[in-house]
């Protein structure tokens, strides 16, 4: 069949477009040969990439960028894209601690897990409460010893849940703090995991009941013992097996929801560009006659450009600019970023940008 001239022109145009696209794709693949997004150390000023499987979103609230949970599920199976929203009220993800986790810092990992926990005032640990390690508690549970006697004193009850005749005011007010080793499994600048610990509070149930009963009363130290003695006579509840309770606490901490959340967020986040890969940072005021906003311009070296292009070419969508542990700007990527200058537009908070630019310049 003979083709019309117009058909030939159309097919020729499609062929040229295909060749151009294929050529660009091939050039990008060639350009990125040998480039991988391995974890790199954190820095005061950096670009953080967050993948959709992290199940978090960025929102703008009161001119501040925040990371929040995008859903109640942190299984890592969700594939929905994360974007910027305004005004949402959801659980915040601590950015400073996340940056520390990506850098491989155990203290940041401990704080990150703690801040992801849903807790009440009763769960909040108090510095005055004695600290017990998991290993010491296991030893105290296993055999009768001076260590067990100390535990029974600090808890205000025996290992079998019987209340001591004389009240321990620290046990009454605070209970104890339990330090349990945990492992956060996520790639970071120092390896594939971070060994740290979690600290949780524990007060025996019978001591908690007495504490709640006394919250409506006024008393001094002597009166507290009088009330306590009366409570001992009247309380008929079955004693708590302290050893069994502590074992369940250990297991709960080591497999906690907040640890799983922390692992999932860290696993799908990475420090994309750190300060040694950034050559310059500047800001520029923009105005439409009514609203003033600011553009943040970040000049990258060759390595920073390659990592940014790699991330965007593989479908990466979400980038945060972080300065001193504070997210100061966020961007949603709509195309491959093949430039040594990244420009993030329409940022409202001038002070944060000024501080970030000054910080970068002082460290350069």
Tens digit of pLDDT per residue, the chain (364 long)? 555 555 444 444 444 444 444 444 455 555 566 678 899 999 999 999 998 899 998 988 888 899 999 864 444 333 344 445 544 456 899 999 999 999 999 999 999 999 999 765 555 668 889 999 999 999 999 999 999 999 999 999 999 999 999 999 999 999 999 999 999 999 999 999 999 999 999 999 999 999 999 999 899 989 999 999 999 999 989 999 999 999 999 999 999 999 999 999 999 999 999 999 999 999 999 998 889 999 999 999 999 999 999 988 887 788 999 999 999 999 887 666 678 888 999 899 999 999 999 999 887 7
CA distance 60 to 303: 30
Distant-in-sequence, close-in-space partners of 290: CB < 8 Å, separation ≥ 6: none
CA distance 59 to 99: 18
Least Cα distance to 137 among 96, 99, 168, 178 occurs for 178
CA distance 283 to 347: 10
DSSP alpha helix (H) spans, the chain: 5-31, 95-102, 106-115, 134-142, 146-155, 169-173, 205-214, 221-234, 242-254, 257-267, 302-313, 350-363
Backbone angles phi, psi at 141, to 5 degrees: -70, -40
Match 């769960």 to its residue by tokens.
123
8 A C-beta contact, residue 278 and residue 298:
yes
Using alpha carbons only, what angle is made at residue 329 by residues 323 and 332, rounded to the nearest 5 degrees?
A: 135
């Amino acid at each position: 069949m003979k083709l019309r001239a117009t058909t030939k022109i159309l097919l020729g145009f499609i062929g040229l477009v295909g060749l151009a696209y294929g050529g660009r794709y091939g050039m990008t693949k060639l350009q990125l040969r040998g480039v991988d997004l391995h974890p790199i150390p954190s820095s005061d000023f950096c670009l953080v990439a967050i993948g959709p499987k992290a199940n978090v979103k960025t929102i703008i609230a009161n001119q501040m960028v925040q990371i929040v949970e995008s859903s109640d599920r942190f299984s890592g199976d969700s594939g929905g894209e994360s974007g910027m929203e305004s005004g949402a009220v959801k659980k915040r993800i601590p950015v400073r601690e996340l940056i520390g986790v990506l850098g491989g810092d155990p203290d940041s990992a401990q704080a990150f897990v703690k801040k992801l926990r849903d807790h009440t005032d009763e769960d909040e640990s108090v510095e005055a409460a004695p600290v017990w390690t998991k290993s010491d508690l296991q030893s105290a549970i296993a055999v009768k010893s001076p260590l067990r006697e100390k535990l029974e004193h600090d808890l205000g009850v025996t290992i079998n849940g019987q209340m001591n005749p004389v009240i321990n005011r620290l046990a009454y007010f605070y209970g104890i703090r339990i330090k349990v080793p945990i492992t956060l499994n996520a790639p970071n600048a120092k390896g594939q995991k971070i060994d740290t610990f979690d600290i949780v509070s524990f007060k025996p149930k019978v001591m908690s009941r007495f504490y709640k009963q006394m919250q409506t009363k006024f008393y001094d130290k002597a009166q507290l013992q009088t009330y306590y003695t009366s409570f001992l006579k009247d309380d008929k509840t079955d004693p708590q097996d302290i050893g069994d309770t502590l074992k369940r606490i250990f297991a709960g901490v080591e497999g906690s929801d907040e640890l799983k959340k922390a692992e999932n967020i860290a696993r799908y986040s990475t420090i994309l560009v750190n300060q040694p890969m950034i050559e310059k940072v500047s800001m520029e005021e923009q105005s439409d006659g009514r609203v003033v906003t600011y553009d943040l311009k970040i000049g990258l070296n060759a390595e920073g450009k390659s990592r940014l292009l790699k991330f965007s070419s593989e479908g990466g969508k979400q980038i945060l600019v972080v300065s001193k542990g504070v997210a100061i700007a966020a961007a949603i990527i709509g195309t491959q970023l093949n430039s040594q200058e990244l420009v993030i537009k329409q940022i409202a908070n001038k002070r944060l940008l000024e501080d970030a630019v000054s910080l970068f310049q002082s460290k350069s």
